[in-house]
């Protein structure tokens, strides 16, 4: 199929032939030092790389080049995102699902997993439990099932989530990870005030995709792959991409993922808001070793670094699928958002003990939110509960402009400090609060604009006095 980044047809903007050509070219040039230096030079400008250039770097195994890739990713991360890490939690609404995805425990043929769908009262209980930990930003998750989880149900849940005010708690941003749907439904999600619409491609390799999704509406590769275009047509301009690593060859996925980002930029003038980096995990009825394309921690770190270099303006997300050590490494190389204290079971947050009966996958990082916040600060990162951008209308290209103008330090930095302050006062242990207060004091000086710095200091005072929800 002819490759055309501007085409609206999945098979043309993710052309299989183009991916294969790219991989061949990358293999041929994997030791071409002159070309590799040129690509690294371009990457240093901080404006990204295309799928061909990035694929050459991925194929290259020269240790000195790998080191340069990691160093550069770290630098770009610092330049664009500073030392802030945004925190969120997934909220599982329902595990009813009609699809046959062979890697997912929610697949329709799994008869031994308990099926559950939250009532609105249960949603409220989950939200209160999440607020009581200190969360402000959620990603809602649901299986695909027109009967049990129709869009009306999802909308009702979003409404409930936003309406709950418990003590000083509030969920201020709801991102949505539900199956591909119609333009009209995306419009309704946008109207309900969602943040990012996230949909993992799982694999871009069509032949494998069809086998991995043998039954159900998700079997339709084109409908799934073209979902982000429909989301954009429905007015959602913050979309999140992702590949489930382990299903197919990672080099194929990486090239195609960047082609998808290039397509969004070419057609809509704005690339993906985020890229998630999930790896397949053990789960009920799922043995990850049944999928023979698993990648080592080393390759995974290099992939994260190359995503950072290739699309500097796109946030990168790592979940609790990864353990603390892996998270530590990839945060350094470019991850900007992490989940914390996640429970992947339906109704899991309201339970005292972590339940396993409806879980989507095993959680590797099982620490509390307070522990995650403290750990980030001890490594020199500012945990941020900021949700300001989309509430101030800074989505899509307006958000990208903010990134490109490097004004984030005058906006995201104070917002991070103010939301951290709220967390410290309302939810943190004494030990975490002590570390956090010191961090805020020191980081206040790193706000470049004098007026913003002064205003931020005033807001911090007011937060101390009990007022909440300031933002720039």
- Provide the binding-site residues for ligand SAM, judged by CB under 6 A: 103-104, 141, 143-144, 177-179, 199-200, 202, 218, 244, 278, 280-281, 283, 286, 321, 360-361
Q: Which is nearer to ligand SAM, 58 or 104 (CB)?
A: 104
Shortest distance in whole angstroms from residue 347 CB to ligand SAM: 14
Q: Which is nearer to ligand SAM, 72 or 142 (CB)?
A: 142
Q: How far apart are CA 466 and CA 381, in angstroms?
A: 25
Cα–Cα distance list, 189 to 124, 145, 195, 303 (Å): 19, 17, 9, 31
What kind and span of H or E run contains 177?
strand 173-177
At 364 the three-state DSSP class reads: coil
Q: What DSSP line would sit under 277-310, residue for residue? A: --B---BTTB-GGGSTT---HHHHHHHHHHHHHH
Instruction: Answer for the pair 62, 291: CB distance below 8 angstroms, yes or no.
Output: no
Half-sphere exposure of 407 (CA within 13 A, CB side): 11
Q: Which is nearer to ligand SAM, 51 or 213 (CB)?
A: 213
Shortest distance in whole angstroms from residue 155 CB to ligand SAM: 16
Instruction: Answer for the pair 375, 324: CB distance below 8 angstroms, yes or no.
Output: yes
Q: Which is nearer to ligand SAM, 280 or 386 (CB)?
A: 280
Shortest distance in whole angstroms from residue 464 CB to ligand SAM: 39
Q: Which is nearer to ligand SAM, 290 or 467 (CB)?
A: 290
Q: Which is nearer to ligand SAM, 341 or 416 (CB)?
A: 341
Shortest distance in whole angstroms from residue 439 CB to ligand SAM: 33
Shortest distance in whole angstroms from residue 72 CB to ligand SAM: 28
Q: How far apart are CA 165 and CA 171, in angstroms?
A: 8
What secondary structure letter does DSSP report for 410?
G
Residue owning tokens 């371009």: 42
Shortest distance in whole angstroms from residue 137 CB to ligand SAM: 17
Q: Is 18 exposed, middle or buried (0-12, 13-18, 19+ CB in 10 A)?
A: buried
Instruction: Answer for the pair 125, 159: CB distance below 8 angstroms, yes or no.
Output: no
Shortest distance in whole angstroms from residue 362 CB to ligand SAM: 8
- Give the end-to-end CA distance of the chain in Å, rounded to a whole number: 47
User: What six digits make up the tokens of 112?
Assistant: 């031994």
Q: How far apart are CA 335 and CA 327, in angstroms?
A: 9
Q: Which is nearer to ligand SAM, 161 or 283 (CB)?
A: 283
Q: Which is nearer to ligand SAM, 104 or 389 (CB)?
A: 104
User: What six digits make up the tokens of 469?
Assistant: 């929800």
Picking from 256, 25, 46, the residue whose alpha carbon sits closest to that of residue 36 is: 25
Shortest distance in whole angstroms from residue 64 CB to ligand SAM: 34
- Count CB atoms within 10 A of the CB of residue 32: 13
**Range 404-432 burial, b when 16+ CB lie within 10 A, else e:** eeeebbbbbbbbbbbbbbbbbbebbeeeb
Q: Which is nearer to ligand SAM, 160 or 177 (CB)?
A: 177
Shortest distance in whole angstroms from residue 220 CB to ligand SAM: 12
């Amino acid at each position: 199929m002819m490759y055309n980044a501007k085409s609206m047809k999945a098979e043309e903007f993710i052309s299989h032939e183009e991916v294969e050509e790219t991989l061949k070219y990358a293999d041929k040039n994997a030791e071409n030092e002159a070309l590799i230096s040129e690509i690294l030079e371009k990457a240093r400008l901080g404006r990204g790389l295309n799928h061909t250039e990035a694929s050459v770097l991925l194929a290259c195994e020269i240790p000195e080049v790998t080191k340069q890739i990691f160093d550069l990713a770290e630098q770009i991360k610092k330049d664009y995102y500073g030392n802030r890490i945004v925190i969120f939690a997934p909220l599982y609404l329902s595990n009813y699902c009609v699809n046959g995805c062979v890697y997912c425990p929610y697949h329709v043929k799994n008869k031994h997993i308990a099926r559950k769908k939250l009532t609105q009262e249960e949603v409220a209980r989950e939200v209160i439990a999440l607020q009581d930990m200190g969360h402000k930003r959620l990603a809602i998750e649901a299986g695909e099932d027109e009967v049990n989880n129709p869009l009306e149900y999802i909308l009702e849940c979003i409404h409930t989530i936003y309406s709950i005010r418990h003590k000083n708690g509030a969920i201020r941003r709801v991102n949505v990870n539900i199956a591909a749907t119609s333009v009209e439904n995306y419009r309704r999600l946008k109207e309900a005030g969602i943040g990012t619409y996230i949909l993992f491609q799982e694999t871009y390799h069509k032949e494998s995709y069809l086998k991995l999704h043998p039954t159900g509406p998700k079997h339709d590769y084109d409908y799934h792959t073209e979902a982000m275009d429909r989301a954009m047509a429905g007015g959602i301009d913050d979309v999140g991409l992702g590949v489930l690593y382990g299903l197919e060859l990672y080099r194929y996925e990486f090239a195609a993922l960047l082609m998808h980002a290039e397509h969004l930029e070419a057609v809509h003038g704005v690339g993906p808001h985020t890229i998630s980096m999930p790896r397949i995990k053990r789960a009920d009825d799922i043995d990850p070793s049944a999928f023979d394309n698993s990648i080592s921690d080393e390759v995974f770190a290099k992939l994260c670094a190359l995503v950072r270099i290739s699309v500097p303006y796109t946030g990168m997300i790592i979940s609790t699928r990864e353990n603390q050590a892996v998270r530590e490494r990839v945060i350094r190389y470019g991850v900007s958002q992490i989940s914390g204290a996640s429970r992947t079971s339906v109704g899991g947050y309201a339970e005292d003990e972590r339940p396993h009966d409806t879980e989507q996958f095993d959680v590797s990082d099982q620490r509390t939110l307070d522990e995650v916040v403290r750990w980030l600060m001890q490594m020199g990162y500012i945990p941020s509960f900021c949700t300001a951008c989309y509430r101030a209308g800074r989505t899509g290209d307006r958000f990208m402009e903010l990134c490109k103008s490097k004004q984030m330090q005058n906006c995201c930095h104070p917002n991070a400090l103010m939301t951290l302050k709220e967390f410290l006062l309302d939810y943190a242990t004494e030990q975490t609060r002590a570390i956090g207060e010191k961090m805020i004091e020191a980081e206040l000086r790193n706000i470049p604009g004098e007026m913003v710095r002064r205003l931020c200091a005033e807001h911090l005072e007011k937060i101390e006095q009990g007022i909440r929800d300031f933002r720039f």
